[in-house]
Each structure stands twice: as C-alpha cells, then as structure tokens.
Structure 1
C-alpha cells in the first residue's frame, strides 16, 4: 500500500560555532528538502518556568536513504515547516524492504 507523502519539510542539522569567548553556539544548517507523511501520535501540555508548553509527538515517514547518507534523517537533527520545528528523537526502518523510515519527533509550542 503506497504511503501518501504530501508535506515538504526542510531537514536541518546542528553545527557548533565558536563564540570567541571559549564557548560555542549552535546554528542550524539546512541539508535539503524531504517529502514526508506526518501522523500526530500524542499530545500533552506541560508546565515550565516560562509557562505552559504544548508538546506533540509525531511519526514522520519519508523515503529511506542508506545509513550514513546525509539525506537520511538522524536523531539530533530536526525538520522545519515554516516556523514549526520537529526535533528528531529516533529513526527506524518502516518496512521490511528498507524503502521507508519513520522519524519519531517532538514539536513544542509555547501557549
């Protein structure tokens, strides 16, 4: 059964940049665009020192690239859809043939 991939997301990776004061900052570099299918898995609201945060867990399915290929999403990377950010926490093969991967991602939104 074909998977409808109808959302285009940017895949981004973190880069450590020296700040000149013996520390660093994290910048995000876009690696490319991927067509995906997005399925919301669960959601909750949690309190933080800054107020309430809406947290949604997503399963984001895309075509697989070989392990080590920069087009294959990895934990620690993120997807971007405009201003929305999806932090990738885990990646697993979605089918026995290795044609698809599922990325389990977390989206947080200050409410």
Structure 2
C-alpha cells in the first residue's frame, strides 16, 4: 500500500531532545528543531484522563511522512502550538519510501 503524496499537506516540525547538565547531578531536557516535514495527520482515538490533578484528554493520531530523517520515540513533532509525542515508527511500504508514525497529543 503506497499512500498518495498529495495527502501530505501539513508542515510538521521534527524536534530532537537536547540534554544539558543541571549542576545537581541531573539533566535539563529541551527540544530543538531538526527538520520540517510534509505530513498527513489522521486522528485515531481519544480518551479522557487526569494527569497531575488536571482533567484533559489524550488524543492518538497516525502521521504519514516521506522517509528521510531518522525518527525515534525520543523525538516529537510540532504543528504550531500542538505537540505530538512519538509512540511508534514503522515503514509503510515495502520500498521504505513512507513512514507511519503513531503519536499521542495531550489536550488540557
């Protein structure tokens, strides 16, 4: 199954973690942009959840992109103010030209 490249209409920013020592034996984690990708964003499911005494929801999506930069579960994707945590990445076709990325988005 090869996706239609015309569906890749959204510009997502791929961000990688950058860790620096905090001076107390721990690390501070920030994210820096490493690439901008054309993508298709497909909603999958939503569930209500309480995290740190704050009601909200966790939304799951599947994001389709052309293969390119190495993407792992340490990365995240951003669409404007929306942040997507990478849960899983896999090849979508036998030729390895497209990736399917399962992500979670927290909405408070």
TM-score in same-fold range (> 0.5): yes
Q: Which residue of 1 aligns with 2:51?
A: 48
SS at match of 1:54: strand
Q: Residue 94 of structure 1 is aligned with which of 75, 92, 95?
A: 92
Stretches of structure 2 that go unaligned for 5 or more consecutive residues are none
Q: Which residue of 2 aligns with 1:103?
A: 101
Q: Which residue of 2 aligns with 1:85?
A: 83
1:58-104 CA-partner distances (Å, limit 9, x unpaired): 10000012xxxxx1321121001111100001101111221100000
Stretches of structure 1 that go unaligned for 5 or more consecutive residues are 66-70
| Alignment map for 1:14-33 (pairs within 5 Å) | 14-33=17-36
How far apart are 1:49 and its partner, in Å? 2.9
SS at match of 2:4: coil
Q: Which residue of 1 aligns with 2:70?
A: 72
Structure 1 runs, 4 residues or longer, greater than 2 Å off:
none
SS at match of 1:85: strand
- Please tell me the root mean square deviation across aligned C-alpha atoms, in Å: 1.2
TM-score (norm 1): 0.88
Distance 1:84 1:16 in 2: 22
Matched positions, count: 105
